Chains A and B, each alone.
Chain A
Amino acid sequence: MMATMSRRGGAKIRPPRRGLQGADVDFDTTWPILEGAFKEIHTKNASALSFEELYRNAYKIVLKKKGEELYNKVARFEEQWLGSTVRTEIVRTLTPPLTLTDGAGRTLATSSERRTAGEKFLKSLKHAWEDYQVCMGMLTDVLMYMDRVYCTDHRQPSIFAKSMGLFRDQILRTPVQPASTTLLDVLTRIVLDQIQMDRDGEAIDQFLIKSNVYMLEGLYESDLEVEDEKLYLRFEKVFLDQSANFYRDEGERMLKESDAGSYCRHAKKRIDEENDRCRSTLSESTSAKIQAVVEGELIRHKMKGLIEMENSGVAFMVDNDKFHELSLVFDLEARVDPRKSELTRAMQRLVTEMGTDINNAALTTSEATPQREAAGDDEDGKPAEEGAKQKLPAKPLSQQTVAALKWVEEILRLKDRFDKICTTSFSSDQTVSSAINRSMADVVNTFSRGSEYISLFIDDNMKRGIRDKTEAEIDSTLEKAIMVLRYLSDKDLFETYYKKHLCKRLLLKKSVSIDVEKQMISRMKIELGNSFTLKLEAMFKDMTLSEELSNGFRAHIAGVMDGAHNNSKPVDLSIRVLTSMTWPLEAFRGASGEDRDENSLGGRDITLYPPEIERLKSGFERFYAQKYSGRKLTWYNNMGDADLRARFPRSTRIHDVNCSTYAMLILLLFNDLPAGESLSLEEIEARTNIPRGDLARNLQSLAVAPKTRFLVKEPMSRDINSGDRFKFNDDFKPSFIKIKVGVVSAGNKVENDRERKETEKKNNDSRGFVIEAAVVRIMKQRKQLPHAQLLTETITQLSHQFKPDVNMIKKRIEGLIEREYLERMEDAPVPSYKYLA
């Protein structure tokens, strides 16, 4: 039938035949044709071959169900071809520089000899591979039918895959000589050798190596061609191991021989290098793995050593403001540790070290006793108890105040320094910044005088520091105080000191600007909350009210005086009315420890005033009672001062004298004394009722201190003793028109240790109450609470003011249980308490 069809149309024209000699379909006659063609293909003579003929022959065989024999024949052919012809060629390139090794496996040739010999080998292998790929491509074309029909159905690897496997086995896996290394091992060794040369800075043929890497990536462990089993991975593992060793050694060497900055730069260079190497010489897939190796060996394992390097490590960098080097270290550690733990720890250590130095320096300064100034000296020129002699004309600060100011400035400088490092070198990294801040807080809080010193800093500024400063400068000073205050956890202790200092400033009119005082208060409100500032604001209110009262009283007097008493000059009264309990008046107790109020006897003021003053006092009391009924006024005479007009024999002018109230009382006694007469200590005491201590101090000002020696003391000595007599000093020559008699206890002495302990004790006591109040508040709301939670909540509530000691809280809870505010719950899973209404 088909023959009929083919003959339809006339004479058949036969195209020229090629190759076929009328052969039958017998396998044994067809195969040699194919075999011969394969040889031609492998020897690059394929262009002379007829694809059609070869294809048809293979097709015939498969159709005759001889596919399997064909497949096996081809496989054996390739195996033979590879094993003898191809491999021989490659082995020929294994010259002595590559094979001569010493006992340790190192070759004995020079590196350039090795490199040249290695390149020959690599070239040979590369060509063999590339040629083989092309040839097998063509073979696959010829055997297309067998591949697609026979192989798929019989689950054989394609002829291409099969032959690749043969290449792997015959070329790479067969030992060069029996029981010796395989070409794959040789390849690995040569490539690693060249990479080492590259690392040492020598030039190598990167593309040549990469071509061989392509080969390794194209071959698999088995004919199944599983993705994870590429031959390349075998090489990669050896590469990674060897690199790890290399970098481990390099890291150690560099730590010993180099400096931190160079180390960082070098590490980065190596990382970049390896990345490039993967791209140009090996495989991009290795990039991440080798990076991990380098980072692990050069960075992670060496980080601590790097940071602690003597003479160039982080400590050195911080001391010498090496911002760039610090950023290098930061970047380096960031690669292996997102938290930069080592660097953070090192920074914290430095902060603590430097901070501790600042704290210790402050303590040393404050405890040093200089030759001239005794500890506890005040500011305003009044001689201390020990009797310092001449005062310097400028008012020197006490040693303590100096220490306090210095401490604050140094703390701020420390903070600034590390802030700058964080911004410049660490890109304001959160983790590191917070850690440094925590250490700063520790520094501030481990300093026993922190609260006091911060208050002193503000105090000094309010009294002198902000004079002649611009608004911006004042602002920044206030901000500085707040910054240090933020670190402080014992805010309640600070409050105590601040109240004390503020009280003195207000009452003694030492503030440069009330406005700035109020600014400080509002800033503190933001930081510390309202409760803290309420009492302080109350003080200001009292001051304003007192101003109004003084003015009101003045006007009232003027009205009254219009009629009667026209011969006596009105004494101008400036009054300050202080709400008790708001003002920490214990600040005005004398340094010698007299804290009993000797002013009053059973509440009544017993000081003896001259009649004019007495009239003024009662006048004001009446005036006040009219305005505010039901209030009791207590006079504090030891805190007032008076302005007098005085005439001295040796001066023609009228002088203004400012002195304490007590001093005024004493001086007025001498107004009515006949010339030449004197008063004894006891007489003065009797006529004024001034407490002995105050009396002595004031008499010292008036009779001993040279600039204000209005009185002459007999006998002339520094101390005031019984029997001393005093008379007006006719010889007194005043140097100035305005004379100020030093007021005792004007300055804010920095507390001596005893006072400090007392303040702290008081503070602790009040903390006890605050803790109790918080516990009761919490339990009332929650009714029942486990112990642990009660602790945490209490601490949280009070964190604002201070950090409560856990044992203190426990003791207070015990106390509350005793007083039946709470009871323990017997049958709770964890220890718990119940609120008793």
Chain B
Amino acid sequence: SRLHDSQEFTNFTIMCGYKGFKAHKVVVAAQSDYFRVACAHGRFAEGERNIILLGTHGDEPNAMGDVAGGDDPEVIELMIGFFYHYDYMISTGTPSNRTTGSSQCRITHAKLFAAAVKYQVPGLRALALSKFEQAAKLAWQDASFAEAVRVVYKSTLDEVRELRDVIRRTSM
């Protein structure tokens, strides 16, 4: 984690939207098979040039409510934080969102879960799931819960059961 803060010896740049992150290939590739390929020398362009540009959602038309392929830079930031700290902290944001803090968190957990699936990060997948479960237990009657549910169903394949199972369990 010190490595993250110091930014020393970084050799890989991850861009997502307006956010750019400097990282260490070793750290990142060790926890994600996707990045293992991306960082690899002699395979694709990213490995040769040591920079990867993750497509953001919203680049596509019909971006509203569509998660086809792209990512949220904030989510990516949290994910990269996870690579170094094995955890992530969601900042509660502006005071106007305070009341909906926990519901926002739920959505964020869901998104992180989806990112973990997409980018093949098993550690993050498990962590996000448990955080989501925790958050879902509180204030589930909330309207924002519906939003979280929508995120989940849209961002992951039917086959990815875990998040849906949690939802189903909490709804009962």
Contacts and interface: CB of A to CB of B under 8 A. Distances in A.
Contacts of B111: 2
Interface stretch (B35-43, B80-88, B162-170): B35-43
Contact of B57 (A2, A24, A52, A153): A2
A25 B60 CA distance: 9
A569 B68 CA distance: 149
A39 to B, nearest CB: 15
B72 A56 contact: no
B18 A9 contact: yes
Contacts of B93: 8
A150 B38 CA distance: 21
Contact of A47 (B45, B58, B60): B45
Nearest to A12: B18
Interface stretch (B21-29, B46-54, B130-138): B46-54
A13 B72 contact: no
A150 B70 CA distance: 20
B72 A52 contact: no
Interface in A326-343: none
Contacts of A837: none
Contacts of A57: 69
B34 A6 contact: no
A631 interface: no
B162 to A, nearest CB: 13
B53 A52 contact: yes
Contact of A22 (B58, B60, B107): B60
A62 B157 contact: yes
B46 A51 contact: yes
Interface string A446-462: 00000000000000000
B10 interface: no
A47 B107 CA distance: 37
Contacts of B69: 25, 56-57, 59-60, 63
B69 to A, nearest CB: 4
B44 A6 contact: no
Contact of A49 (B44, B53, B56, B74): B44
A57 B160 CA distance: 19
B33 A144 contact: yes
B45 A138 contact: no
Contacts of A56: 55, 69-70
Contact of B45 (A3, A11, A14, A49): A49
Interface string B143-155: 0000100010000
B85 to A, nearest CB: 21
Interface residues of A, number: 46
Contacts of A51: 37-38, 43-47, 52
Interface string A52-91: 1111110110111100000000000000000000000000
Contacts of A24: 60-62
A21 to B, nearest CB: 11
Nearest to B71: A56
B62 to A, nearest CB: 8
B45 A48 contact: yes
A1 interface: yes
A13 B73 CA distance: 11
A713 to B, nearest CB: 128
A410 interface: no
Contacts of B5: none
Interface string B1-39: 000000000000001111000000000000001100110
Interface string A196-231: 000000000000000000000000000000000000
B125 to A, nearest CB: 12
**Which among B52, B67, B93, B118 has the greatest number of chain A C-beta atoms within 10 A?**
B118
**Which among B58, B61, B107 has the greatest number of chain A C-beta atoms within 10 A?**
B58
A9 B19 CA distance: 10
B98 to A, nearest CB: 15
B43 A145 contact: no
A266 interface: no
Contact of A149 (B58, B63, B147, B160): B160
Contacts of B151: 2
Nearest to A4: B97
B157 to A, nearest CB: 6
**Which among B16, B68, B72 has the greatest number of chain A C-beta atoms within 10 A?**
B68
A145 B118 contact: yes
A159 to B, nearest CB: 14
Contacts of A682: none
B66 to A, nearest CB: 9
Given A63-B157, A149-B159, A6 B56 contact: yes
Given A6-B73, A17-B59, A47-B48, A52 B18 contact: no
Interface residues of B, number: 47
A15 B74 contact: no
A3 B44 contact: no
Contacts of B46: 50-52
B64 interface: yes
Contacts of A2: 57, 72, 107, 111, 151
A111 B62 CA distance: 69
Contact of A144 (B37, B52, B74): B37
B58 A6 contact: yes
A370 interface: no
A29 to B, nearest CB: 12
Given A6-B58, A15-B15, A50 B44 contact: yes
A483 to B, nearest CB: 77
A148 interface: yes
A46 B43 contact: yes
A55 B73 contact: no
Contact of B120 (A6, A46, A148): A148
Nearest to B53: A15
A678 B130 CA distance: 146
Nearest to A57: B69
B34 A144 contact: yes
Contacts of A419: none
A104 interface: no
A62 B67 CA distance: 13
Interface in A398-456: none
Contacts of B37: 51, 141, 144
A25 B37 CA distance: 24
**Which among B55, B93, B158 has the greatest number of chain A C-beta atoms within 10 A?**
B55
Contacts of A16: 53
A42 to B, nearest CB: 14
A17 B58 CA distance: 13
B19 to A, nearest CB: 9
Contacts of B54: 52
Contact of A55 (B34, B53, B158): B34
B73 A47 contact: no
A5 interface: yes
A153 B61 contact: no
Interface string A559-577: 0000000000000000000
Nearest to B46: A51
Contacts of A141: 37, 43-44
A52 B37 CA distance: 10
A20 interface: yes
Given A24-B61, A63-B68, A14 B17 contact: yes
Contacts of B72: 2, 5-6
12 contacts: A5-B72, A6-B56, A14-B56, A17-B59, A47-B48, A51-B37, A51-B38, A51-B47, A52-B53, A57-B69, A65-B157, A144-B120
The 8 tightest CB contacts between A and B, nearest first, are A51-B44, A13-B18, A141-B37, A60-B69, A56-B69, A153-B159, A15-B53, A15-B15
Given A22-B61, A24-B62, 17 more contacts: A6-B17, A13-B18, A14-B18, A15-B53, A25-B69, A49-B45, A52-B55, A54-B44, A56-B69, A60-B69, A63-B67, A63-B157, A64-B68, A65-B157, A65-B158, A144-B37, A145-B120
